């Protein structure tokens, strides 16, 4: 996203929810390290002290944004569809759920996927991402052991490619895009059945 | 990659090739916007004026790095395997080639994939990436038209997911990882045949 695109449609916002949204937009447009509290107050159209009324600072905003993305992603793992059924059925449920969260909470997930580990909060988020990926990888391994997933691909690699395929959607998905409702199923189909037709 | 990891094994380097390598490491670790010519000279163990002897500045370094990644990626599209054969054969060749370039020139491709369009050079690189993706998408469309790729996934989406799957390898691949030689074939297999076993 260009800086200009992220900054359009900016109105004064004072509630913690809308301040968070403004901050996430600025973090994505400028990069977290390059964004100052001045930038954030200007973008939100409020004074710095009003901003500090809601958040102790930049890192608290980052943490709140990353918590939102992570809590939605982890919630998928506890849904009945992710805990009952064959490993592949559970994986399909998780992939569809991830794509849905990603399209609904696009800026928050985008920020999460850009985290590089330069602050304590970023390192915490990286750990959480790893924990999520480890839980998915364990189900991929189960699927391989039960013969549901092809045995000629290393389970760790399969889990990583699955995660990469799903997460890449943030690179091009834009809210309001037609076909968003079908996207979770389409991504799951490509991930599990590949690009080649079923009959070959 | 953490800043520390990117900065280890740093010796004084004076040739333009090794200066470029040092600069790419710093850009990845600190972010391009946050890296100064001071940071780069310190990391390379030379004076700023020695640095300017080889490169006019930070953006020239970025451009040289991105050109290296892009020229290797575009070269794949002109290889015989990418120009002759059925669309799916050509796509498989391109995917294998992309994974090979990505593992061989990991920092350069990583930098290319992080470009967000904040400078003229970054916008040029984004255009080049789009041009590459457009050429691949045209072959995916051919493959769908010829019935080689499943018709129940939109060709534009298929091309994007293919690109996302391949590019996600930069997120976890590290040089020296065992199995690197098999990686291009494994990624192509997952992309085209999916995670489910062939017989189902």
Distance CA A44, CA A48 (A): 10
Q: What is the pLDDT of residues A92-112, one digit of tens each?
A: 999 999 999 999 999 999 999
How does residue A197 score in pLDDT terms, banded at 50, 70 and 90? confident
Contacts of A118 (CB under 8 A, 6+ apart): A33, B2, B3
Calpha distance B54→B107 (Å, rounded): 20
Count the Cβ atoms, other than its own, within 10 Å of residue A71. Answer: 11
Per-residue pLDDT band at B13 (split at 50, 70, 90): low
Calculate mean pLDDT across residues B25-44: 91
Contact B195 A169 (CB under 8 A): no
pLDDT per position as a tens digit, B45-85: 999 888 888 899 999 999 999 999 999 999 999 999 999 99
Dist CA B156 CA B136 (whole Å) = 10
- Measure B48 CA to nearest chain A CA, in Å: 23
| CB neighbours of residue B150 within 10 Å | 20
| CA B32/CA A5 separation, integer angstroms | 20
Which pLDDT belongs to residue A149?
85
Task: Count CB atoms within 10 A of the CB of residue A13.
Answer: 16
List all residues of chain A from 53 to 82 with a beta carbon under 8 Å from chain B. Answer: none
Region of poorest pLDDT, from A101-110, A175-184, B185-194: A175-184
* Maximum average pLDDT range among A145-149, A152-156, B183-187: B183-187
DSSP string, A74-141: HHHHTSHHHHSS-HHHHHHHHHHHHHHHHHHTHHHHHHHHH--SSSHHHHHHHHHHHHHHHHHHHHHH
pLDDT for the residue numbered A200: 44
pLDDT per position as a tens digit, A125-141: 999 999 999 999 999 99
Alpha-carbon distance of A104 to A20, in angstroms, equals 16
C-alpha distance from residue A173 to each of A1, A30, B152 (Å): 11, 20, 19
Domain over A3-55 is classified CATH 3.40.50.300: no
Mean pLDDT over residues B165-194, rounded? 90
Q: Quote the mean pLDDT of chain A.
A: 88
Instruction: Report d(CA A107, CA B20) in Å as an integer.
Output: 33
How far is B85 from B41, CA to CA, in rounded Å? 48
Report the mean per-residue pLDDT for chain B: 88
Query: What one-character DSSP code corresponds to residue B194?
Result: -
Confidence (pLDDT) at B151: 82
What pLDDT does residue B6 have?
47
Angle between helix A120-145 and A87-104 (nearest 10): 150
List the structure tokens of A90.
Answer: 């559970």
For residue A143, the model assigns a pLDDT of: 92
The stretch A49-68 carries a mean pLDDT of 92
| A168 chain-B contacts, CB cut-off 8 A | 160-161, 163-165, 167-168
Give pLDDT, residue B180.
86
Q: How far apart are CA A158 and CA A136, in angstroms?
A: 10
ipTM of the predicted structure?
0.82
Sign, CA dihedral B81-B83-B86-B90, equals positive
Q: Are B38 and B72 in contact (CB under 8 A)?
A: no
Q: Which of A75-84, A171-180, B58-67 has the lowest mean pLDDT?
A: A171-180
Chain A residues whose CB is inside 8 A of the B157 CB are 179, 183, 186, 190
| Chain B residues 129-168 within an 8 A CB cutoff of chain A | 140, 143, 147-154, 157-158, 160-165, 167-168
Domain ranges of chain A: 3-55, 63-193
Mean local confidence (pLDDT), B7-35 = 78
pLDDT of residue B154: 87
Percent of chain B with pLDDT over 70: 92
Q: Give one DSSP letter per residue of B70-110, joined into a string.
A: HHHHHHHHTSHHHHSS-HHHHHHHHHHHHHHHHHHTHHHHH
Contact A70, A112 (CB under 8 A): yes
Query: What is the pLDDT, as a whole number, of residue B9?
Result: 44
d(CA A48, CA A57): 10
Residue of A119, A166, A190 best to disrupt the B interface, most CBs of B under 10 A: A190
* Full DSSP string of B119-166: SHHHHHHHHHHHHHHHHHHHHHHHHHHTTSS-TTS-HHHHHHHHHHHH
Residue A195 has pLDDT above 90, yes or no: no
Regarding the domain delimited by B63-193, which CATH topology (the fold level of the hierarchy) does it fall under? Tetracycline Repressor; domain 2 (1.10.357)
Residue range A177-188: mean pLDDT, rounded:
89
């Amino acid at each position: 996203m260009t800086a200009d695109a992220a900054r359009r449609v900016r109105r004064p916002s004072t509630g913690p929810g809308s301040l968070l949204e403004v901050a996430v937009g600025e973090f994505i447009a400028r990069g977290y390290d390059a964004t100052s509290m001045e930038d954030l107050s200007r973008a939100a159209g409020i004074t710095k002290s009003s901003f500090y009324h809601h958040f102790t600072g930049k890192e608290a905003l980052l943490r709140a944004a990353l918590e939102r993305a992570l809590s939605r992603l982890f919630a998928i793992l506890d849904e009945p569809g992710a805990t009952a059924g064959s490993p592949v059925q559970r994986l399909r449920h998780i992939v569809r759920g991830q794509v849905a969260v990603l399209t609904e909470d696009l800026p928050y997930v985008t920020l999460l996927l850009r985290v590089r580990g330069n602050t304590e909060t970023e390192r915490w988020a990286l750990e959480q991402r790893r924990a999520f990926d480890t839980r998915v990888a364990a189900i991929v391994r189960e699927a391989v052991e039960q013969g549901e997933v092809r045995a000629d691909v290393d389970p760790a690699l399969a889990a990583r490619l699955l995660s990469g395929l799903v997460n890449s959607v943030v690179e091009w998905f834009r809210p309001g895009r037609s076909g968003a409702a079908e996207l979770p199923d389409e991504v799951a189909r490509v991930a599990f059945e590949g690009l080649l037709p079923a009959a070959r």
